[in-house]
Amino acid sequence: MEGFFVSEKEKSIINALHNISEEAIESKIKSLKKWIEQCPHLPLESKDEEFLKIMLLRGKFQEETVTKMIQNYFTHLCKYPEFFVGLKNIKPSDEVGWTVILPNLTPSWEKIGILKLNPAKVEKVLDVHRCFTVGIAAALIMYNYDYAPKIRLILDFEGFTMNHILQVNINDLFKLISIYENILKIRISGIELINAPHLLGVILNLAKVVLKPKLFSRITVHGDLCSLHKNIPRKNLPNDYGGELQNSEELLNLWDQVFLKKKCFLEKIEQLCQRHSQDQWIFGTQGSFKSLVVD
């Protein structure tokens, strides 16, 4: 399942695009490790080199930015523990709300993520809170293991009704945004809306309330797949979206295997959140949390 993540060759190209050498990255990692040693509230796992390399990428290789991101990741991770319940038991293809990250990078070095309703379960009651948890789990895996610089999201509203929208708790939505802004700072290069003409006004009004203007400006509404292909090459899309990859259901079954492989990681995140919620545990004061960042 490693094919779902950026290859070593692609990592080198991404680093070159940022005009940074391997030697410079190693130097920054050493500097970050020294800083971490002066932060007793951070766990030993924060020194993991693969984690630090990804954090450098997320922070555009600016050390001051990266230190803030590491602080936020480990201190805000458990602020809303209710969103991290059941992470280890998620099988994406069984969910009413699907979230799948596609395996290959676009020419603009983006990963593509698709969020949609499961066609086989579209009539079932939609647990929006559960959908948020599934999306967070996917983001956690990408954030910790995938060297992709950014992601472009497809929000497919096929089968979505006003009843589904009415189930969205605005407070939960703001919490979700907070999690992404303070913990999972993955750059979103675009949000592509499809199959939502009759709900378009409601969706855009809701997005305008919860999203920052910069991100809201990156929303594109598509009337058909030809329009979508102007923003995302067909070779990066499933064939049921007019693309050249396997269909989205087959890709989702492969994504199940990624979740299965990362089950221990997700279980540790869930345990951490529960322990923090119950005991007000602070990193570094009551022992280490073994292998939090990597398997």
Cα–Cα distance, 185 to 143 (Å, whole number): 8
Specify if 285 maps to a domain: no
Residues 125 and 237 in one domain: yes
Cα–Cα distance, 97 to 93 (Å, whole number): 9
Residues 161 and 228 in one domain: yes
CA Rg, the chain, in Å?
A: 19
Specify if 291 maps to a domain: no
The size of the chain, in residues, is: 295
Specify if 217 maps to a domain: yes
Specify if 137 maps to a domain: yes
Q: Which long-range contacts (CB under 8 A, 24 or more apart) does 244-252 make?
A: 245/102, 245/103, 245/104, 248/98, 248/100, 248/114, 248/116, 249/93, 251/100, 251/102, 251/103, 252/92, 252/93, 252/98, 252/100
Total domains, the chain: 2
Residues 123 and 203 in one domain: yes
What's the one-letter identity of residue 147? Y
| Ranges of H-type helices in 111-169 | 128-145, 162-166
The residue out of 81, 104, 119 marking a domain boundary is 81
Residues 244 and 118 in one domain: yes
The residue out of 81, 111, 140 marking a domain boundary is 81
- Contact in structure between 32 and 63 (CB atoms under 8 Å): yes
Residue 40 structural domain: 2-81
Residues 154 and 196 in one domain: yes
Q: 154 has which bridge partners?
A: 114, 192
Four-residue CA torsion sign, 185, 169, 95, 157 = negative
This prediction's pTM: 0.88
Tokens of residue 179, six digits: 């999690």
Residues 158 and 227 in one domain: yes
Tens of pLDDT along the chain (295 residues) come to: 456 788 899 999 999 999 999 999 999 999 999 999 998 888 777 888 989 999 999 999 999 999 999 988 877 777 888 888 889 899 999 999 999 999 999 999 999 999 999 888 776 778 888 999 999 999 999 998 999 999 999 999 998 888 888 888 888 888 898 888 878 888 999 999 999 888 899 899 989 988 899 999 999 999 999 999 999 999 999 999 999 999 999 999 999 999 999 999 899 888 777 665 544 434 333 333 333 333 3
CA angle 275, 281, 282 (to 5 degrees): 140
User: What DSSP character marks residue 99?
Assistant: E
The residue out of 49, 81, 113 marking a domain boundary is 81
Cα–Cα distance, 269 to 183 (Å, whole number): 13
Residues 228 and 98 in one domain: yes
Residues 67 and 200 in one domain: no
Residues 154 and 29 in one domain: no
User: What DSSP character marks residue 292?
Assistant: S
